[in-house]
Amino acid sequence: MAPTLDCWKVLNLPVHADERTLKRQYAKLLKVTRPDDDPVAFQRLREAYEQVLHSVRNVADTPDQAEYVAPSLARSALEQAYALLSEFDDSRAAEYWAKALAHGCAAEFEQLLFQLCVNAPDEHLALLTWGAEERQWLTPWQQINSGGFAHQRLVLALTTALYADLEQLMKPGEQAFFFTHLERACRQGWLLDFIHRQALQVHVLNLFTVHQHWSAQLFRQVCRLFGWDAEGACVPIEPAQWQALNRRCEQHAWLDELGELARQRAQAPSPTANAAALFLMCTKPAQQATLTATFGEADWQACEQLSAEFSTRFADLLGLFPNHDPWFWQAMIGCRPVRHGVTRAASVLTACLALRQLASVTDWGPWLLMLPLYALGGYLMAQVGKWLLDYWAALSESLHDLDQRVSRWCVRHRLLSDRRHLVIRNSGPLLALALVIWNWLGLLGLVTYVGTGLIGLLRPARAVAREHAYRWQRPWQAIQRIAGLSWLQWMFCIGMIGVIAYVQLYRPGTWLTQAL
């Protein structure tokens, strides 16, 4: 297409000027018509040049123009840089930079990219980040010329974007990427400036102060990155705020440790893990009741330790619990039911009735025939005692708090093995039975009863009653399970029963077997 007169006017050339003159004039005009100053004029100049150059080459027949057979070689470095810029994509900055190096226009192309970021930094954040990381923009080592305003504008854009990213990554679920992003940013040269780095540290500290949910591991990583963990380190925050952050870090570390114990409870069960699961993972009453139903004394002691920790060291965390009470679990202890209580009481009363009648035995036949009646009497009396026990349990409920404190004291002094054996509640029936035995068998009967109980309380290591899995086809195991006596208690009982029987038979009426 033949160039119009306007094309020659734009180039300020006479019509039908040769190619050499055209290129010289175009190079002069490029120096005063820049795309960043007046893109419309530059585009008009570019189009006029291409049309005139195409026309001149088509009509030229002289051999002098053979030296211009490679148009790409004839184009100036600035032109090639502009050509790359016209199709530039921020996401492919490294690729276009390689092209610029290959074409020999890297300096011109980098200057254009820098100016592009200055004109619209928010639209070219990816390019600006690439320049800061790969080309050391905004540092003393950059290869381009930039004024103070351009420098400040780009630093502000980078700072705003970085702060926004860190704010987003501090939210729950995103913190895994917070440190990686911060560490990458700190490697950029523009943050080597003391003022910029100090401002970044203040912003990060504010993020830790404002946000509640962050891990102790993240805080320690950031401290190592900025050197805050070194002795005598200068932290750009008030000492009171820095102490508060360290305290929160300690709290988070402790909670993280407890949470890990609770999560691994199935693989590594322990009293502390059970207590941690109760405190941190069981929020509903039904869940708490299900978990505490399997608790033993070691688990309750672990709960005591955790409650003390929450009350003394980490009082700020009391909001985790109902009514801010870390001792909420005490209401779940309850009373451990006595297994085979009626059967045991009936057996003791039957033995007492039988031994009491030995003093009047002259013929063993009637006494042996009366044994079933003695057993029936003991069973009926045990049932009456069970009925009276319901009233005693209701009465002792008013002393429940005192009962728990007494039981805890007994457990700490190893007088009991389980705090659910409430001392006040269980001592009533035991004292009533002791009075009956004393009334029927005198001092020897009372010594037998009390001695058997003391052996059970002292619990020598080799004299602990075993929980046998029994069947009625094996009556001795069944008797052991129901009686709940160790071998040492059995020996003591049998020996004392023999002594009582001897006294009743051969020394009747002695003060050792006299009733109250």
Measured distance CA(511)–CA(516) in Å, rounded: 10
Measured distance CA(247)–CA(226) in Å, rounded: 19
pLDDT attached to residue 7: 74
Q: Which of 459 and 353 is assigned the larger pLDDT?
A: 353
pLDDT attached to residue 491: 87
pLDDT at position 490 over 70: yes
pLDDT attached to residue 477: 62
Task: Report domain extents, the chain.
Answer: 5-74, 254-332, 341-506
- Compute how many other C-beta atoms are within 10 angstroms of the C-beta atom of residue 324: 12
With vertex at residue 244, the alpha carbon angle to CA 243 and CA 245, rounded to the nearest 5 degrees, is: 90
Residues 68-102: tens digit of each pLDDT: 433 443 357 888 888 888 888 888 899 999 988 88
Instruction: Give the mean model confidence (pLDDT) for residues 59-70.
Output: 43
By the 8 A CB rule, do 353 and 374 touch?
yes
By the 8 A CB rule, do 135 and 96 touch?
no
By the 8 A CB rule, do 443 and 449 touch?
no
pLDDT attached to residue 506: 83
pLDDT attached to residue 473: 54
239-243, 300-304, 359-363, 470-474: the lowest-pLDDT one: 470-474
CA distances (Å), 248 to each of 163, 227, 242, 316, 445, in order? Answer: 23, 19, 10, 9, 63
Residues 200-221: tens digit of each pLDDT: 999 999 999 998 888 889 999 9
pLDDT attached to residue 293: 82
pLDDT at position 472 over 70: no
pLDDT attached to residue 16: 64
Q: Rounded to 5 degrees, what are φ and ψ at 320?
A: -70, -20
What six digits make up the tokens of 328? 């909420």
Q: Helix 239-263 vs helix 194-210: angle between axes, to the nearest 10 degrees?
A: 50
pLDDT attached to residue 299: 86
Helix extents (H) in 194-270 = 194-210, 216-226, 239-263
Q: Give the contacts of 486 (CB within 8 A, at least 6 positions apart).
A: 455, 456, 463, 464, 465, 466
Mean of pLDDT over the chain: 80
Instruction: Give the mean model confidence (pLDDT) for residues 25-54.
Output: 77
Measured distance CA(71)–CA(181) in Å, rounded: 46
pLDDT attached to residue 336: 67
Per-state percent for the chain, helix, strand, coil, to nearest 5: 75, 0, 25
Which of these, 134, 142, 87, lies nearest to 111 by C-alpha position? 142
What six digits make up the tokens of 400? 């429940």
* Residue 65: band (very low, low, confident or very high) from pLDDT cuts 50, 70, 90: very low
Instruction: Give the mean model confidence (pLDDT) for residues 414-422.
Output: 73
- Compute how many other C-beta atoms are within 10 angstroms of the C-beta atom of residue 249: 19
Topology, domain 5-74: Helix Hairpins (1.10.287)
Helix (H, G, I), strand (E, B) or coil at 231: coil
pLDDT attached to residue 479: 64
CA distances (Å), 101 to each of 158, 417, 496, in order? Answer: 26, 83, 107
pLDDT at position 267 over 80: yes
Q: Which of 237 and 34 is assigned the larger pLDDT?
A: 237
**pTM for the complete prediction?**
0.55
Highest mean pLDDT out of 13-27, 230-244, 360-374: 230-244
